[in-house]
Chain A
Amino acid sequence: MAAEFANPVMLYSIGKDSSVMLHLALKAFYPAKPPFPLLHVDTTWKFREMVQFRDETAKRLGLNLLVHINEDGVKRGINPFDSGSSLHTQVMKTESLKQALDKYGFDAAFGGARRDEEKSRAKERVFSFRSADHAWDPKNQRPELWRVYNTRINKGESIRVFPLSNWTELDIWQYIMAENIPIVPLYFAKKRPIVERDGTLIMVDDDRMKLQKGEEVQDRLVRFRTLGCYPLTGAIDSDADTLEGIVTEMFTARTSERQGRLIDSDEKSSMEKKKKEGYF
């Protein structure tokens, strides 16, 4: 992809999948550096530890990091508490991503999504064609044979590339362990300030989170299986504070990782819908 596109970019979401994808890119292009920048679409509601990790990673590796915030959304005061998770995701992630891709004129973007995450993703190509307004058309995907990828696009159109399509969550953790890849400390169990809201364990990451009646903050030993906006990401009770512990825990897991992601269950087929609108 780096060889065939004029202006590629890597979508860097700071999570474990992004860490693995970035590590693979470092290995693939070594001794050169990956010939593309990293782009983080910042909703302004990411965990503080994620932002810190992001900046340290870019600095440590000497990579060009672009951070894009949908300023219009900020002005409108969009936030996950009052606007609802659906509108927040639409404006601060999907719209914001489109703004950033248009602003820099990227014609190809790597993403760390995996087919085992969600059933509409199981249907998506490794090289996923997007129209000039970034939309995905699941009924009209290019056939994808062998490892031969069709990279031809017209001006304004783009391709999303998912190199981790065929990895599973367990593969990711085993690889992180085997290659000793740095990840955000939030994946490891630690006592954290937690509020239980509608059965989900929300971490109070800053004072923008207002407590509702009857809620109280408890210190609870938790970790995260997946990371997103902190008010929309549920923690799990866990004492796995090492990679070994996490991998062991994975084998006994009986729920899927995206269960902690509130945005997936907004409505039926919601991921498919978001992707048609341009979500990653």
Chain B
Amino acid sequence: MNAPTDLAAFLAEQEKKSLLRFLTCGSVDDGKSTLIGRLLYDTKLLFEDHLAALERDSKKFGTTGDDIDFALLVDGLEAEREQGITIDVAYRFFATDKRKFIVADTPGHEQYTRNMATGASNSELAVILIDARKGVLVQTRRHAYIASLLGIRHLVLAVNKIDLVGYSKDVFDGIVREFSVFAEKLGFASIVPIPISARFGDNVIASSPNMPWYTGPALLSHLETVDVETALADKPFRFPVQWVNRPNLDFRGFSGTIAGGRIRPGDAIAVAKSGRTSSVKRIVTMDGDRDEAVAGEAVTLVLADEVDISRGDVLCAPQARPDVSGQFAAHLLWMAEDELLPGRQYLLKLATTTAPVQVTALKHKIDVNTLDQHAAKTLQLNEVGYANFSTIQPLAFDPYRESRDMGGFILIDRFTNATVGAGMVDFGLRRATNVHWQALDVDKQARAQQKGQKPVVLWFTGLSGSGKSTIANLVEKALLAEGRHTYLLDGDNIRHGLNRDLGFTDADRVENIRRVGETAKLFVDAGLIVLTSFISPFRSERRMARDLVGEGEFVEVFVDTPIEICMQRDPKGLYEKAKAGQIKNFTGIDSPYEAPDLADLHIKTEDADAATHAAAIVEFLRERGYIG
């Protein structure tokens, strides 16, 4: 970029410059980082001190002999430089006279698919590198698929190292033909193939004299001119509320960034979830009120009426509202070492809403290398699946292809707080809007009153052989003797009937507990005191069962017996079999038990006998007012 002569005119021009966000992907030795280094170097955006450091590093770690190794410029982490690979996404910035660019340099290995998806989520174009000597590889297909999955519509197929195949037109044409056949079904708006040599700069900045047969644009000129406008401002109005702005009693506004469309004072709006309507009175900014605001701008809206709105609500155009549903179908990329467990409760974050969610049906997983669909019970790290989701409360969303902001979501593990998945809404499932709860005249309260007790779930958890069932049985007997109405759910009456289709894998254990939780919920609704006796090894599922019933209707009883004692007791001989390898996935042996952090009752069986503990539990119920 040249130094400006007329600064005012120059700055005006700068403001008009559009921004292109793109990512580069390719496999290990395709030369991605080299290409970015080359772009920065040739657009003179490498500073002298960076260059000096680069020359030093090239001698030390470089893989290009005496030449500068540009890859070292972008591989910012020590481990990356030492191993000569890209692990994490790096962002680089450069500008030409025509456009500003943000490049996400993403790793090519299959085990870093999630990092590529991260880079793709904010990009409008993808540059996929292919080594001309190797042609279209499995990873080329994977990269193209992930790019299309994340909504990228424009592709550049950079056939790199063309110098190493003698600048051959035939090689280039063959690669382009093969790729085009594959990419047809991915629905890209544009695919532009360019033969380049990142190392020597052919067709990177300027057209190369080495390939007179190639008449298309050089890479940079294509990036400068490609039209990727998605025209968010022409879409229906969407405004996810980030923050309620209330500096004093006289002002109440809603702050956020417009995700789609445009808004003017006087325009009607609706609150997506509640359906309430109002109109915009003012568009407030620090630089004065505005006559109009469009997608991408952060503003504070003041409405004409007092409407109940909080963070997570979406203001929208009344004539074009988003879906509002607790059920939807979405593509899901799994990003965690721990597998996805359908039925487990995760937290979903979409726009400004955070809500508990579960995968209710995993339809299939997609082989990212061939696009084949396979039946699946779970998703492993870097796998892509298609699933139905269910939230407890309805959610406002748009399909991802309509709006990345309103259709892209992450899943968060409730205990580790890790980001475990990235989802792209395909469409809302109508069940939520069509199946209304049947309002019944006889309700839980009436049933409970009739029985003279407060319904509750006593959830016994602990290792096999810890004494859960023994104590639960004694508690139920004592309650029955008092004339209480109870029901005990345990392995015997559940595993042999309702859940006889389930085994002992993690996924099946989660589903087992989900069904127990739902059954317990119905019995609580019937006004009963429900006792459940299951190992229930995972915190998340116990949390899920707790969340199914109302506040104060769940008492977690941790039956705490050291595993050595459980193994000694071994009432059913199960530990013996597990140790002998005859039973797989046995809790405490080759499957984990996650002890409760905050059980409502913590029972140490070594301290007293079962009858004493049972009496203490009944006393607890009396103290808390569950029984009179």
Which A residues fall within an 8 A CB radius of B? 2-3, 26-33, 115-116, 118-123, 138-139, 141-150, 152-154, 165-166, 168, 170, 174, 177-178, 244, 247-248, 251-256, 259, 268-269, 272
List A contacts of B242 (CB < 8 A).
3
- Select from chain B the residue with minimum beta-carbon distance to A114: B93
- Which of A29, A143, A252, A254 is close to B48, meaning CB atoms less than 8 Å apart? A254
Known A31-B284, A119-B76; contact A259-B247, beta-carbon cutoff 8 A: no
For B285, give its contact among A30, A123, A269 (CB under 8 Å). A30
Q: A28-B255, A150-B349, A166-B102 are in contact. Are A248 and B87 (CB under 8 A)?
A: no
Among listed B410-418, B581-589, B607-615, interface-contacting one: B410-418
**Do residues A178 and B11 form an inter-chain contact, with CB atoms below 8 A?**
yes
- Contacting A at CB under 8 A, from B72-99, are 73-79, 87-93, 95
What residues make up the interface of B, taking CB atoms closer than 8 Å to A?
1-4, 7, 11, 14-15, 47-50, 73-79, 87-93, 95, 102, 114-115, 117-118, 121-122, 242-243, 245-247, 251, 253, 255, 257, 284-287, 298, 300, 311, 335, 347, 349-352, 404-405, 408-410, 412, 417-419, 422
Minimum-distance CB pairs A-B, first 9: A119-B76, A32-B247, A152-B417, A256-B47, A30-B286, A145-B121, A251-B3, A259-B49, A142-B419
Question: A30-B300, A139-B79 are contacts. A255–B410 as well, Cβ < 8 Å?
Answer: no
In the assembled complex, the CB of A162 is this many whole angstroms from the nearest CB of chain B, namely 11
User: Distance (Å) between the CB of B260 and the closest chain A CB?
Assistant: 13
B572 CB → nearest A CB, Å:
37
- A150/B7 contact (C-beta < 8 A), A30-B285, A33-B247 known: no
In the bound complex, how far is the Cα of B255 from the Cα of A31, in angstroms?
Answer: 10
Knowing that A122-B92, A143-B335 are A-B contacts, what are 15 other residue pairs whose CB atoms are under 8 Å apart, sorted by A's residue number?
A27-B285, A27-B298, A29-B255, A31-B253, A120-B76, A122-B90, A141-B88, A145-B121, A145-B122, A145-B410, A153-B417, A168-B93, A174-B14, A254-B48, A256-B47
- Given the known interface contacts A32-B245, A123-B88, A272-B78, the answer about A252 and B3 at a Cβ–Cβ threshold of 8 Å is yes
Query: A36–B351 Cα gap in the complex (Å)?
Result: 23
**Shortest beta-carbon distance from A170 to chain B in Å:** 8
How far is A29 from B254 in the complex, measured between Cα atoms in Å?
Answer: 10
B251–A31 contact, CB under 8 A? yes
Flag if B76 contacts A122 (CB, 8 Å): yes
Nearest chain B CB to A243 CB, angstrom units = 10
Task: Say whether A145 contacts B408, CB under 8 Å.
Answer: yes
Closest B residue, CB atoms, query A259: B49
Residues of A within 8 A of B122 (CB): 145-147
B4 touches A248 (CB 8 A): yes
**Other-chain contact of B77, A115, A123, A150 (Cβ < 8 Å):** A123
Q: How far is the CB of B285 from chain A (nearest CB, A)?
A: 7
From B93, B247, B347, B351, A116 is in contact (CB under 8 Å) with: B93
CB distance from A153 to the nearest CB of B (A): 6
13 contacts between A and B (CB under 8 A): A27-B287, A27-B298, A30-B300, A31-B251, A33-B247, A119-B75, A123-B77, A142-B418, A143-B117, A146-B408, A154-B417, A255-B47, A256-B50
B597, chain A: closest CB distance, angstroms: 11
